[in-house]
Amino acid sequence: MREHCSHARFVWNLACEQQSWWRRGRDSPPGLAEQCRQLSDARSAFAWLAAGSVIVQQQALRDFSHAMANFFNRTHGRPSWRKAGRHEGFRIVAVKPEHLRRHNRKAGAVWIPKVGWIRFRLSRAIPTGVKSYRVTRDRAGRWHVAFAVVPRPIPGPGTGEAVGVDRGVAASAALSTGKLLRVPRLSPARQRRMRLLQRKLRRAVRGSNRRAHTRVQIARLFARQSDLRKDWSEKTSTSLAREFDWIYVENLQIKIMTRSAKGSTQKPGKNVRQKSGLNREILAAGWGRLVRRLEDKAPGRVQRINPAYTSQRCSACGHIAAESRKSQALFSCVACAYTENADVNAARNIAAGHAVTARGGDGAARPVNREPQFPHVGERLKSLPK
């Protein structure tokens, strides 16, 4: 299976190289049919490539062609090179029913070309009508098989209730109902082991067996943290999709928010280490995965709200003032003395669909309230618990 991963990565990188050589004025890069013909010639010339599965190699070319079509349609980014140890996997299509077996409630088997039957643990029931599956190997050395199927959306309760979700660092997600949700982290013992292993990795000689073994140990701890974050995102998104008909989240530009602050040689950045720590906390909170899974499970019921001044607006009286945000966790309105958790207050503004912006008739930048962006939930703020 590792040879299948190497062959698929090799063929993908060759297709990337052919695409990178194309410039205006040159001939067009070869298409899928021409690349498949070239693959047949390469398999005839090289025995190590012919020893692999042609199904795996041709599917890598089809995946690259599909990725380029998505790039030209401006729905995805440009396909990039794949690296050994980081991009390990291959895909099989046209799966027949006899290629899948279920041994018992916890185990099954799948047929892989030139490998045979591979037993795997059933984390969930195999869906009907599977046409393809993908086998991957992560940095921790674990193998995974994923069957491609479009899941059914989760139906709402039908009560018309709405919830606002404010994403933060101290609380990964604050709901307008007053509930604070946090992504589980590694235990203190595992965090200490992570730091010790990272120090050991810095002292190890590059290319040595000791360094490779240490990297695998670190990868296992990172994989555990990633599994915890994924599990939290799946359970939280499923719970929200089942309990509420409308879900309102901030329209955050996470990629821009987590940019490095080191700057350039001519204009070096300030507080670079502090910004790096903040970026790590933002990425560890799983902001993007939570909203993405919500949109997958509740299509058409997730609305993105402009986050401007949602943390400075009082959810009780509507007064906007930066002085009301006393600290990271405390919000106390300077107009009506309403006190609440800052994240919960922002979540209630998001649930009401409020979007404010800085504009003024005299040229001075000051916040001005707008009408609720979604009128059918504009009156539900009064029903939310204070």
Residues acting as catalytic residues = 166, 250, 343
- How far apart CA 375 and CA 355 sit, in angstroms, is 12
Helix (H, G, I), strand (E, B) or coil at 381: helix
Tokens of 179: 């509930």
- For 106, half-sphere exposure in the C-beta direction (CA atoms, 13 angstrom radius) is 0
φ, ψ for residue 332 (rounded to 5)?
A: -135, 110
Closest CA to 149 of 70, 95, 68, 75: 95
CB 317 within 8 A of CB 368: no
- How far apart CA 273 and CA 299 sit, in angstroms, is 39
CB count in 10 Å sphere of residue 91: 19
**What sections of the chain are H helices per DSSP?**
2-20, 32-45, 47-50, 54-72, 188-203, 209-243, 254-257, 272-284, 287-297, 342-351
By the 10 Å C-beta count (0-12 exposed, 13-18 middle, 19+ buried), 195 is classed as: exposed
User: Across-strand partners of 278?
Assistant: none
User: Across-strand partners of 133?
Assistant: 92, 147
Helix (H, G, I), strand (E, B) or coil at 172: coil
- How far apart CA 349 and CA 16 sit, in angstroms, is 47
